[in-house]
Structure 1
Amino acid sequence: MSGGITPTSPGEILELIRSGQVTTRRELQDLTGLSRSTVALRLAPLIANGYVRARVRRSGSAGRPANALSFDETGKLILAADLGATHGRYALTDAAGTVLAESAGELSIGSPPQTVLRTVIRRFRDLIRRTDRPVGQLAGIGIGVPGPVDYARGRPVQPPIMPGWHDYPVAAELSAAFDCPAFVDNDANIMGLGEMRTHYREEASLLFVKVSTGIGAGVILSGRPQHGVAGAAGDIGHIRIAHPVEGRRCACGASGCLAAHASGAALARRLSDAGLPAVSSLDVVRLVHEGHPDAIEAVRTAGSLLGEVLSTAIALLNPSVLVLGGDLVLTHEHFLLSVRQAIYERTVPLATRDLAIAGSQLGIRAGVEGARHMVVDEVFSAEAVDARLETLETAGG
């Protein structure tokens, strides 16, 4: 048993299988030091309740075929939503990430939460109808919103661009609508989680920054988003910049916020005041692609301002990856190079020596992909699985 980890529950056995650390009963015995009979006892409820598949895996050599163990992902459905300031993206997937149905549409996050959540629920039900999958297969719901979130309670916390949402029971309302667990987090957190699990799984830390209508960041350490005491970790859009322009007020009511100078909404207002047709961050991107010098200059300045703020975060966290996402990244080198240059100019070489700076690879799907991972992490954690199995055992007498 020397060096073994000796799990004490079926849920911990499932974590070993889900992570790929073990793929057979023999590997499970060798890793944990448990006897064959004990391994069989721990696996029995996992197999019986659809958590684990056990299939005969034959090899080319003579001898007894091995029982291949794998997490049964296909029969467990997840509803995921990424809500932005002006749009929403919705997906129905299985636990493995296979997309069964997906949709997107305009959305005003400034509307009352009851109104927005009615839209979300309607969208989710439409996805289920399109796939003709039983609602009973739903494992959970994951949703991202553009504001601070009390993750443990599933409630937004004083989100500046979401009036009326403070302390609203978002997770509880979605859970009641579909009779399954629901989880809510900040949109930048779930985007960062999606990027890390898909493209940077081997990295120790990742900082994700979203620049669209507003600005927010997700800090992913050891594969998990960091929320802070009040859910405000990564809320960099409201950091005061060194030399603010007078009169540019933020949605939070303060002056000098980064978001009031470098967000897509701020740039659109500035270009519109200059006589250019810009209402949204995507309009800013369009103007840059059309070669308007004022738009290009505005985006480059925004990148420099963001880089100044991020240089402090880079020095403090020393992450291995910085991923930039959101609409302004679609301007490509105009924005990315400005951010990179500002970081390198203001940060000691040791902090950036091993830092990779890149645009989002998942793009518009980062949020729903991260929401899926959030649900899988919660619903299939050792604690959650053990609690579920205990409930089933009690119900079964």
Structure 2
Amino acid sequence: MQSRAPLRAVEKKLRELLYSCNTKVENVLIAGIFNLSSSLTQRNGASVSLLETGSHISDVLDLFRTHGELSRTEVMEISGLSRSTVNQRLTSLLSGGLILPVKGGESTGGRPSSRFALNASRAIFLTADIGASGFTVAVCDLSGTALRHAKRVVDVWEGPDRVLGDVHAAFEEMRGDEDIWGIGIGVPGPVEFAAGRVVNPPIMTGWDRFDIAGWFSSRYGVAVVVENDANARAVVESRQHRSDNLISLKMGTGIGSGLVFNGQIIRGNEGAAGDIGHTRAAIATDVAALQCRCGNLGCVEAYASGWALVRDLQEEGLDVSSVSDVVDLVARGDISAVRVVRQAGRVLGEAVAELVSILNPGTIVVSGLLAECDEVLLSGVRERVYQRALPLATRNLTITTSVLGELAGVAGLALITADQVFHAATIDRLLTEAVASV
């Protein structure tokens, strides 16, 4: 027989709240509670709580992805699920090899409690962070850690077939005999996330609406996630800094920005949210606006990006041909390089200040090759952000560089791919296939 003790407690609370209400209304509500209780089903002889009817095995797996090692008791406490439900879901995850038992359970007088952890080595994700002039590819475990990675030089203007062909070749060189459960591709342009394709990219000639997801799924037969490269970095930085409200700035050949607020990626209606690189720079009105690679005049990228700095230093007679050359000059203390990079930081800071006032982030993280200029770049960003943004919005704001280096993009893509692969809508099929392959 089902226990009604929890329902009696609810009834007591309701009676207290409805004390002054019409008696007839009160009785109807209480009767409804008991009618609902009679419809609760039995699992292994125990009643199912109302909370459990809206939960899923993916929620339990997410606890291990978020918290690390957990005991059965800890899973019950965090999730609010009953022991029988937790046991059932742990058994399913163990059968599929998604979690593993680990040692170290604390004894409470009886036998040591069992502890479990995500089996990060159960399968891999292949990820590629494509930029304007090169890409980083990685083999990542299920926790998002890069196991192997490589860098390649490429020109994104050569089009999708050439670039994706190079990415595919790099994947094949690095993959071993591990099971591949998903692929994540980052691109430097707006993305229609659900369709897995780029939409009207400012600098990616020939890529508009190209089916990137279909290109890879036809070759690997797994889930493929396509994401804006700066968004991917925002996700991993958000988790790295434990910040639910964060702006990620990618400073390389071009400029990208990703937004994570309330713990979620902000993509916007067309996937173009946060693309400050192609907004109008704050420049003097009596100075002719510089042309951007996208074809417009006066974009932030035309003044503060890597390619713009290479152009400016070349005009001053310095021997530079790449963003790496600019970074090297700054590291050596070259006066001209330090000056233009600091000014680039100010231009970027002007653009970011508006986002700070509107969105009120807790953290701004700068990554990409130009981030290696560190305080030379950041000092200009901070100067303008604190000058232009609302004081309240900057009171607890942190502006810093990424510690993840060249792996920031591929790590973020692995996390986003894992979120999709382990989603409630897809994990049941994955578990079925995983159990069959164990």
Q: TM-score, normalised by structure 1?
A: 0.90
* Contact 1:56 1:65 (8 Å CA) reproduced: no
2:254 is matched with which residue? 214
The one-letter code sitting in structure 2 at the alignment partner of 1:90 is V
CA 1:332/1:15 → structure 2, altered by over 3 Å: closer, same or farther? closer
CA distance in 2, matches of 1:48, 1:152: 31
Gapped regions of structure 1 (runs ≥ 5): none
1:147 is matched with which residue? 189
Greater gyration radius: 2
Counterpart pick for 1:124 among 161, 171, 187: 171
**Matched residue of 2:411: which SS?**
helix
CA distance in 2, matches of 1:249, 1:353: 36
CA 1:4/1:86 → structure 2, altered by over 3 Å: closer, same or farther? same
CA distance in 1, matches of 2:333, 2:57: 59
CA distance in 1, matches of 2:375, 2:431: 52
Residue 106 in 1 paired to residue 153 in 2?
yes
Counterpart pick for 2:59 among 9, 12, 17: 12
Counterpart pick for 1:43 among 76, 81, 90: 90
Residue identity (%): 38
* Contact 1:56 1:66 (8 Å CA) reproduced: no
Note the 1:30-179 alignment, pairs <5 A.
Answer: 30-32=77-79, 34-54=81-101, 58-60=105-107, 62-128=109-175, 132-134=176-178, 137-179=179-221
**Matched residue of 2:296: which SS?**
coil
2:17 is matched with which residue? none
Counterpart pick for 1:345 among 387, 406, 414: 387
CA distance in 2, matches of 1:361, 1:338: 20
CA distance in 2, matches of 1:30, 1:267: 54
How far off is 1:56 after superposition? 6.5
CA 1:271/1:26 → structure 2, altered by over 3 Å: closer, same or farther? closer
**Matched residue of 1:139: which SS?**
strand
* Contact 2:126 2:184 (8 Å CA) reproduced: yes
CA 1:334/1:65 → structure 2, altered by over 3 Å: closer, same or farther? closer
Counterpart pick for 2:270 among 226, 230, 242: 230
- Summarize deviations over 1:121-170 as a string: whole Å, max 9, x none: 11001101xxx323xx1111112111111111110111122100010111
CA distance in 2, matches of 1:282, 1:36: 56
Counterpart pick for 1:243 among 270, 278, 283: 283
How far off is 1:98 after superposition? 4.1
**Matched residue of 1:382: which SS?**
coil
**Matched residue of 1:354: which SS?**
coil
**Matched residue of 1:243: which SS?**
coil
1:185 is matched with which residue? 227
How far off is 1:320 after superposition? 0.3
* Contact 1:241 1:256 (8 Å CA) reproduced: yes
- Summarize deviations over 1:230-257 as a string: whole Å, max 9, x none: 1101210111123264252111111111
* Contact 1:87 1:106 (8 Å CA) reproduced: yes
CA 1:33/1:157 → structure 2, altered by over 3 Å: closer, same or farther? closer
Gapped regions of structure 2 (runs ≥ 5): 1-5, 11-48
- Summarize deviations over 1:319-350 as a string: whole Å, max 9, x none: 00011122222222221101101111112221
How far off is 1:192 after superposition? 1.7
The one-letter code sitting in structure 1 at the alignment partner of 2:152 is G
The one-letter code sitting in structure 2 at the alignment partner of 1:345 is Q
**Matched residue of 2:226: which SS?**
strand
Residue 318 in 1 paired to residue 360 in 2?
yes
* Contact 1:16 1:22 (8 Å CA) reproduced: no
CA distance in 2, matches of 1:282, 1:33: 52
* Contact 1:15 1:381 (8 Å CA) reproduced: no
1:263 is matched with which residue? 305
CA 1:12/1:300 → structure 2, altered by over 3 Å: closer, same or farther? closer
* Contact 1:318 1:352 (8 Å CA) reproduced: yes
How far off is 1:176 after superposition? 1.9
CA 1:56/1:22 → structure 2, altered by over 3 Å: closer, same or farther? closer
Counterpart pick for 1:335 among 357, 360, 377: 377
**Matched residue of 1:103: which SS?**
strand
CA distance in 1, matches of 2:308, 2:344: 10
* Contact 1:192 1:208 (8 Å CA) reproduced: yes
